[in-house]
Structure 1
């Protein structure tokens, strides 16, 4: 299957933070992202979530990721937020509730091909007893 996505990533850079460290946090989770520094923030673009998906599998947090992706899904895409400090350590930690004091990494995914639900199945497949299962085996409502 061919995937066509645009991933837009933004992270605030506060006066108390080192810009390179915030860039490293983004790169740790999105190594293919092209990062641009703007006043008070970093903006990045990538066209793959494969390394991010690999990390979700390694951390065994597919169910959490699916929940976040689908909770924030819309026609044509989905969005989610990540904790900067965890990302700097190379760890995915979804930000829920109020934003962190230093701000969160905001990720917006535009899915052109296939549909959003199929792409979410690719990035964070459904699980059974904690193990990924083939999405084609899952019955849809």
Structure 2
């Protein structure tokens, strides 16, 4: 049986005057190809209803524990958020931004989970691990 998730993913990425908008768009869509990306004033705005590709990248890069830590660190009710480095994203690599923002700004991701629960969705995207391997139910 396939689980059904009701999730809204909001992605914002600043576009500085020295940056090429299409390259910033590529950084966003490399990690979130399912996102509908539009151009705002000095930023790109993306909306998606899932994080399947992002989850695959976390598995491939073997950074599930790091991702879980980031998701849980900034969890508020049914929402969690995190920041990603633009340059790494442009290369198709997940690199969480911690500390001071990068000079060109970071990609900000905000995930609101309606169903099932935020904990279940985090488990879906970045499952708990044991000895570096996802724990199966």
Does TM, scored on the shorter chain, surpass 0.5?
A: yes
Q: Distance in 1 between matches of 2:15 and 2:95?
A: 18
The number of equivalent residue pairs is: 135
Task: Return the match for 1:112 from 88, 92, 114.
Answer: 114
Question: Deviation per CA, 1:59-86, whole angstroms, max 9, x where unpaired?
Answer: 0000000000001111111000000000
**Structure 2: segments with no counterpart, 5+ residues:** none
Q: CA deviation at 1:52?
A: 0.4
**Structure 2-normalised TM-score?**
0.97
Q: Could you tell me the TM-score, scaled by structure 1's length? A: 0.94
Structure 1 vs Structure 2 CA RMSD: 0.6
For residues 76 and 116 of structure 2, what CA distance do their matches in structure 1 show?
14
Q: CA deviation at 1:2?
A: 1.1
1:31 aligns with 2:42: no
Which residue of structure 2 lines up, in the alignment, with residue 46 of structure 1? Answer: 48
Of 102, 105, 118, which aligns to 1:103?
A: 105
Q: Output the CA distance in 1 between the equivalents of 2:72 and 2:40.
A: 30
Where does structure 1 lack aligned partners over 5 or more consecutive residues?
137-141
